[in-house]
Amino acid sequence: MDLLAGLNPEQRAAVVLPAQSALILAGAGSGKTRVLTTRIAYLISTGQVSPHGLLAVTFTNKAAKEMVTRLSAMLPINTRGMWIGTFHGLCNRLLRAHHREANLPQTFQILDSADQLSAIKRVMKAQNVDPEKFIPRDVQNFISGSKEQGLRAHEVEAYDPFTRRKVEIFAEYDAQCQREGVVDFSELLLRCYDLLSRNQSLREHYQERFKHILVDEFQDTNPLQYRWLKLLAGVGEYRSRFPHPNLPPAGEGANVSHRDAGSIFAVGDDDQSIYAFRGANVGNMQELLRDFHVENVIKLEQNYRSHGNILDAANALIANNRNRLGKNLWTAENGGEQLRVYEAPTDVEEAKFIVEEIQQLKREGVNLTEMALLYRSNAQSRVLEHALVSAGLSYRVYGGLRFFERQEIKHALAYLRLMENTDDDNALLRIINFPTRGIGARGIEQLQEAARINNTTLWDAAARAGGKVSAFVALMETLRAGTRELPLPEIMEHVLHHSGLRANYESELATPAKKREAEERLENLNELINAATLFVHENEDDSLTAFLTHATLESGEHQAGDSDDALHLMTVHSAKGLEFHTVFITGLEEGLFPHQNSVDNGEVDEERRLMYVAITRARRRLYMTFAQSRMLHGKTNYSMVSSFMRELPEPLLLWLSPRFVQRAPSFSSPSYSGPAYGGATYGKASPAPFVMPGSAPRDSGALWHVGQQVFHQKFGEGMVTDTEGSGNEGRVQVNFKRAGSKWLSLEYAKLEAI
């Protein structure tokens, strides 16, 4: 009874369930870890299972360690040896115990990502595979992605010669790993699944042993992980018709389970399923209900984290998703503050507003470490980081790198550094074979040796070399000559295009496993052009040398140590599982959040789940910000407010700026052509402005309308981008070709229609 003290009725009901499969729909901040751990303690303390007779699976070592720590505090038992861990950790343990049956040496080693890539390169070299046609990292993602779907090389359908060649590399890579007694991470789970599915006695031993299987974050399971769980529970299809050459023949009755299905206690939240790009299948929750005939579905809806208004907003938003299992978060606390909404004229002004609010919160006694800035895309962090550095605020990028420390940015800067200073050996070494141009490790070693013998820089040695090295030297000379008279942003654009950097990442868009990462890297490269544009506007010395110095200083300033009070910057994906006193959700614009790629691919439901996760990170205060215009490719592009904003109840919102009205595009040619807020199209003027619910429409009369071309005696030609008021008391915002954006009084402006 002491274990059950303090549990709410739903938590208690979940903990004391009978030994039947169950699904616990655990909302954000509803105490799911406590329920899962207490369930384990309850089963052990009531004698329903021994400490070694249950299996508990989670997704991170940190979560597994926390479960063990809590369990140790609940029960006077030795938790060492309990089967609590990650999928990979538990599969590794099982394969170690049965290495002979798995046809592995007892001391088999596990390849990390870098070691796996090296192994694949050796296979490709032995098979004379052109690494420029078959990029090794693409092959690596192909192999890992196939295994995570439960597919061996001979099971992958090769629709064309290109895929068929990758399948051949896959098969030879598997054979090489077998000869060397090593496995990669994906192989751990697949080898374990193969072993159990083909070995009846071993399978039935573990099915009988693990009467209770408990799973954390069930919504994040991929197809193979769910099949592995079904196998251990005595429900599932076995792989006898797909024999694997590295495993012994299937035993008699390999397709038959001789026991009743075990019970799975699955804890998860379909509203927080945001990892489809990693292979997670939110549909596994629906399949669990069907496959295990689940009768017990308990909803944990009481939230212990956030105030009521935050939860009401989250509930209203997620209700727009289809095929939900359904739940409604609530709290015993009060409603708290309204959600603060701010519309900025530009992304720079958005960052400035956020910094000012952070400084005010600090004065009110809120520590920086209790605040988080969330963004949909990593590229958004650059403007925010610049504003924080300028304000002297310490920050930490959680789960990622600062903008100027990211791989693709360092590659681009290395080209620029070498253009400025050919003596920069570090810059040369970074890019001499990136993108790949056939200059291998041996060639670089020879270049370094020549430079040492002649006491010269690597550039001087390269200038005297021949072959592919001389082609690289010629490329750099061409880049230098081609950018000599260009302004800084155009230098960036020229280098990104002619160096092959942009094309390198664009080529990865066709590989599903690499697409998401490639998109982020391309967004960051575009943001580098924006950084150069802003630098020119803010600094008298806008030379390339000055910009490179600026980039170096920004990458090193305000580095927060582990013990420092520092603001958290992160993508929404990285924020899952965390909570903060104050959260800023930035860049709430259509095409950015929800991301245009998701809109195009019909994945808005997952984007909405991502927004739901972002909202529920806040305990006490939540800001949502967006900008009328944002820099893209160094040019100003006008944005539409996120459609998610329309799904939030107006009474919950506190507007810190005038209500949003549709804006027209700038004179630059935007690449975005997706759907806009209110049914309009980006790049085209709407017949009437869309006004946020609850606000009064603006009217400047019939003479002037958004999208109209006008002429001003002083500022020249422009386009109306906003209107306010009526008659002579009204005013219009015009984006002029030469003078930029300006608000003009209709009484004095003397505008002429074109």
Out of 289-293, 523-527, 579-583, 660-664, least confident range: 660-664
Of the residues 10, 217, 269, 408, only one is catalytic, namely 217
97: pLDDT strictly greater than 70: yes
Of the residues 172, 216, 370, 408, only one is catalytic, namely 216
Based on the residue annotation, tell me whether 360 is a catalytic residue of this protein: no
Out of 179-193, 435-449, 669-683, least confident range: 669-683
**C-alpha span between 69 and 621 (Å, rounded):** 31
User: What b-and-e string marks burial along 469-479, b requiring 16 or more CB atoms within 10 Å of the CB?
Assistant: beebbebbeeb
**Confidence band of 560 (pLDDT split at 50, 70, 90):** low
**Contact indicator for 450, 465 with CB cutoff of 8 Å:** yes
Based on the residue annotation, tell me whether 33 is a catalytic residue of this protein: yes
Number of H helices, E strands in the chain: 27, 21
DSSP letters, 404-464, are GGSHHHHHHHHHHHHHH-TT-HHHHHHHTTSS--S--HHHHHHHHHHHHHHT--HHHHHHT
Angle at 526 between CA 543 and CA 669, to 5 degrees: 100
Based on the residue annotation, tell me whether 721 is a catalytic residue of this protein: no
532-540: long-range contacts at Cβ-Cβ below 8 A with a sequence spacing of 24 or more? 532/488, 532/489, 532/491, 532/492, 532/634, 533/488, 533/489, 533/631, 533/634, 534/348, 534/383, 534/386, 534/631, 535/488, 536/487, 536/488, 536/489
Tell which residue, 88, 105, 87, has the closest CA to residue 246.
105
**C-alpha span between 391 and 386 (Å, rounded):** 9
**C-alpha span between 706 and 685 (Å, rounded):** 6
98-115: average pLDDT:
86
Crossing angle of the two packed helices 407-420 and 488-498, in degrees rounded to 10: 110
295-311: average pLDDT:
94
CA 205 remoteness from chain centre: 40
Helix (H) or strand (E) holding 608: helix 604-615
167-177: average pLDDT:
93
488-510: average pLDDT:
89
Summarised one tens digit per residue, pLDDT across range 387-428 is 998 899 999 888 777 788 888 988 999 999 899 888 888 889
29: pLDDT strictly greater than 80: yes
Supply the mean pLDDT for the chain: 83
**Contact indicator for 216, 63 with CB cutoff of 8 Å:** yes
339-351: average pLDDT:
93
**C-alpha span between 361 and 366 (Å, rounded):** 5
**C-alpha span between 659 and 79 (Å, rounded):** 57
194-219: average pLDDT:
92
46: pLDDT strictly greater than 80: yes
User: What b-and-e string marks burial along 615-641, b requiring 16 or more CB atoms within 10 Å of the CB?
Assistant: bbbbbbbbbbbbbbbbbbbbbbbbbbb
205: pLDDT strictly greater than 90: yes
239: pLDDT strictly greater than 70: no
Based on the residue annotation, tell me whether 410 is a catalytic residue of this protein: no
pLDDT at residue 237, as a whole number:
57
pTM: 0.72
**152 SS3 class:** coil
How many CB atoms are located within 10 Å of the residue 416 CB?
A: 24
pLDDT at residue 666, as a whole number:
36
How many CB atoms are located within 10 Å of the residue 110 CB?
A: 15
pLDDT at residue 715, as a whole number:
76
77-106: average pLDDT:
89
**24 SS3 class:** strand
Tell which residue, 624, 628, 409, has the closest CA to residue 530.
409
**C-alpha span between 119 and 106 (Å, rounded):** 21
**Confidence band of 260 (pLDDT split at 50, 70, 90):** low
689: pLDDT strictly greater than 90: no
**C-alpha span between 591 and 639 (Å, rounded):** 8
Based on the residue annotation, tell me whether 617 is a catalytic residue of this protein: yes
**Contact indicator for 44, 75 with CB cutoff of 8 Å:** yes
**C-alpha span between 647 and 319 (Å, rounded):** 9
Of the residues 221, 272, 533, 733, only one is catalytic, namely 272
pLDDT at residue 692, as a whole number:
37
Residue 475 backbone dihedrals phi, psi, to 5 degrees: -60, -45
Out of 168-182, 325-339, 355-369, 535-549, least confident range: 535-549
- The amino acid occupying position 428 is L
Summarised one tens digit per residue, pLDDT across range 714-749 is 778 888 877 776 666 677 888 877 667 777 777 667
Q: What is the CA radius of gyration of the chain?
A: 29
**C-alpha span between 196 and 548 (Å, rounded):** 57
Based on the residue annotation, tell me whether 217 is a catalytic residue of this protein: yes
CA distances (Å), origin 544, targets 177, 413, 500, 553: 48, 10, 20, 14
Out of 137-146, 266-275, 558-567, 629-638, least confident range: 558-567
Q: In what order do the strands lie in the sheet with 83-86?
A: 83-86, 54-58, 212-215, 263-268, 22-26, 296-300
pLDDT at residue 165, as a whole number:
93
Higher pLDDT, 160 or 361: 361
676: pLDDT strictly greater than 70: no
Summarised one tens digit per residue, pLDDT across range 437-475 is 888 888 888 888 888 888 888 899 998 888 889 999 999
Of the residues 12, 20, 33, 446, only one is catalytic, namely 33
CA distances (Å), origin 436, targets 111, 221, 430, 433, 695: 24, 36, 11, 5, 55
Roughly how many angstroms between the first and final C-alpha of the chain, as a whole number?
A: 81
pLDDT at residue 167, as a whole number:
94
